[in-house]
Amino acid sequence: MDVTTLSLTTLDLTNEDGLLLLRLNRPDALNSFTVAMAEELTRVFTEVNDDDTVRAVIVTGTGRAFCAGMALDVAGNVFGLDESVQPDWADLADLTDPALARVRDTGGMVTLAIYACRKPVIAAINGAAVGIGATMTLAMDARLVSTKARFGLVFGKLGISPEACSTWFLPRLVGTAKALDLIYSAEILDAEATVAIGLAARAYEPEELLTAARELANRWTRGRSAVSVALMRQQIYRNSGQPHPAAASRSETMAMYATSIGDGKEGVAAFLAKRPAEFAARASQMPAWYADWIAEFDARWGANTPVE
User: In the window 40-79, what residues touch a second copy (CB under 8 A)?
Assistant: 72-73, 77-79
- Which residue lies nearer to a second copy by CB, 9 or 271? 271
Segment near a second copy (CB under 8 A); pick from 8-16, 45-53, 171-179, 203-211: 171-179
Using CB under 8 A as the binding rule, whether residue 206 contacts a second copy is answered as no
Q: Which of residues 82-101 bind a second copy (CB under 8 A)?
A: 83, 87-90, 92, 95, 100
By CB under 8 A, what part of segment 283-302 binds a second copy? 288-289, 292-293, 296-298, 300-302
- One of 33, 45, 115, 204 touching a second copy (CB under 8 A): 115
SS3 state of residue 238 = helix
Binding residue for a second copy, selected from 137, 163, 203, 213, defined by CB under 8 A? 163
Least CB distance to a second copy at residue 97 (A): 11
Strand partners, 15: 20
Q: Does 192 bind a second copy (CB under 8 A)?
A: no
Q: Other C-beta atoms within 10 Å of 234: how many?
A: 21
User: Exactly one of 129, 193, 264, 283 binds a second copy (CB under 8 A); which one?
Assistant: 264
Footprint on residues 221-260 left by a second copy (CB under 8 A): 221, 223-225, 228-229, 231-233, 235-257, 259-260
Backbone Cα Rg of the chain: 20
User: Would you say 6 or 100 has its CB closer to a second copy?
Assistant: 100
The residue within the footprint of a second copy, chosen from 14, 97, 219, 282 (CB under 8 A), is: 219
| Positive or negative: CA dihedral 137, 232, 301, 197 | negative
Cβ pair 103, 110 in contact under 8 A: no
DSSP string, 262-279: THHHHHHHHHHHTS----
Please, are residues 197 and 189 in contact by the beta-carbon 8 Å criterion?
A: yes
Question: Between residues 25 and 237, which has the closer beta carbon with respect to a second copy?
Answer: 237
Q: Please choose, from the candidates 175, 108, 174, 183, the residue with its C-alpha nearest in 3D space to the C-alpha of residue 139.
A: 108
The amino acid sitting at 161 is S
d(CA 139, CA 162) in angstroms, rounded, equals 14
Report angle CA 280, 284, 288 to the nearest 5 degrees: 90
